[in-house]
Amino acid sequence: MPSSPSLSPHQLGIRAALAGVLVNVLLAIVKIVSGVVGHSHALVADGVESAADILSSLVVMSGLHISSLPPDSNHPFGHGKAEPLAGVVVSSLLLLAGAWIAWTSVQEIRSPHEMPASFTLAVLAAVIVVKEYLSRRVLAVGQHVDSTAVRGDGWHHRSDALTSGAAFIGIGVALVGGPGYETADDWAALVACGVITFNGVRLLYDSANDLMDASASPGMVADVRELAASVPGVLAIEKCRIRKSGLELSMDIHVVVDGSLSVRRGHEIAHAVKDRLIGAGRRIVDVTVHIEPDTF
């Protein structure tokens, strides 16, 4: 897993996105030039997707930077929503790229063109290796920091590897089949659009969930409830609601205590619960504790 003890989750995500920008600049140039020279629409379309990936990585970097900013008078709850908002933009770009490739592929299928050059296969093979490696690295970072936007960026790279694989197969079929199979790489690009669209919709759903304050996983909720219940003076946990705010978690929890305790003692228990949860290393940065008297 790509990590460094000296970097924050936001910095790890930004570094992964920056690596994507640098790689995609080079790949976009190589693929578009090779596609034009080698008469391969699938390779040109692949290059355009790499160019779109540059924009998506820049959006991820901006979203992570903004989400890391501290609360201010206009945003008292912080700027965490910038991260899933970046995820919405990235997934939307993925869907737009799929639609554009589908449209241009259909146009090329309807218009006869030259047979793709054999050297385009070597270009595509190298692209597949590079983009799959980059995808694995970025997805690992996204999983590590729990960022929908970074995972979306990783799936942009994975989709690029998949479309390159489809183009590789299509061009191979065209070269082996000879005259009459010139459009095989266009059909391959069209089929790959299904993969791109699927991932775009899935990532859009995940980002929208974060924007709508979807609950943390049941495992996380159960873990937090157990931690809070272990604080001396806590008799039970009545409610526990956890939501993502960027790469971090905010929550409110209702803890049951002895109803005969003084207000001061109840306040001390609430602070102990808050300190326990924030100090547990689970990215919880804001906790609201409600004290409830027992009914025994």
Which pLDDT score is estimated for 213?
81
Q: CA geometry: angle at 165 spanning 191 and 112, to 5°?
A: 55
Lowest mean pLDDT among 4-8, 26-30, 95-99: 4-8
Q: Nearest-CA neighbor of 42 among 174, 232, 206? A: 174
Q: Looking at residues 216-224, what average pLDDT do you find?
A: 87
Lowest mean pLDDT among 5-19, 172-186, 208-222, 226-240: 172-186
Q: Given CATH 1.20.1440.130, say whether it is the number of domain 9-211.
A: no
Which pLDDT score is estimated for 4?
54
**Do residues 6 and 35 lie in contact, with contact meaning Cβ atoms separated by under 8 Å?**
no
236 bridge partner residues:
256
pLDDT-derived band at 290, boundaries 50, 70, 90: very high
Q: What percent of the chain shows pLDDT beyond 70? A: 94
pLDDT digits (tens, 9 = 90+) for 92-147: 887 887 888 788 778 777 776 667 778 888 888 898 899 889 889 888 888 888 78
Q: What percent of the chain shows pLDDT beyond 90? A: 16
pLDDT digits (tens, 9 = 90+) for 52-93: 778 878 888 888 888 888 888 888 888 888 888 888 888 888
CATH code of the domain made up of 218-293: 3.30.70.1350
pLDDT digits (tens, 9 = 90+) for 169-211: 877 887 787 777 767 777 777 777 777 788 788 888 888 888 8
| Average per-residue pLDDT for the chain | 83
pLDDT-derived band at 296, boundaries 50, 70, 90: low
Which pLDDT score is estimated for 1?
45
At 244, which helix (H) or strand (E)? strand 236-245
Considering the entire predicted model, what is its pTM? Answer: 0.73
Contacts of 132 (CB under 8 A, 6+ apart): 157, 158, 161
Determine if residue 253 is left, alpha or beta; phi over 0 gives left, psi from -120 to 50 gives alpha, anything else beta: beta
The domains of the chain are located at 9-211, 218-293
pLDDT digits (tens, 9 = 90+) for 203-218: 888 888 888 888 888 8
Phi first, then psi: give them for residue 244, nearest 5 degrees. -80, 145
> Is residue 45 predicted with pLDDT exceeding 80?
no
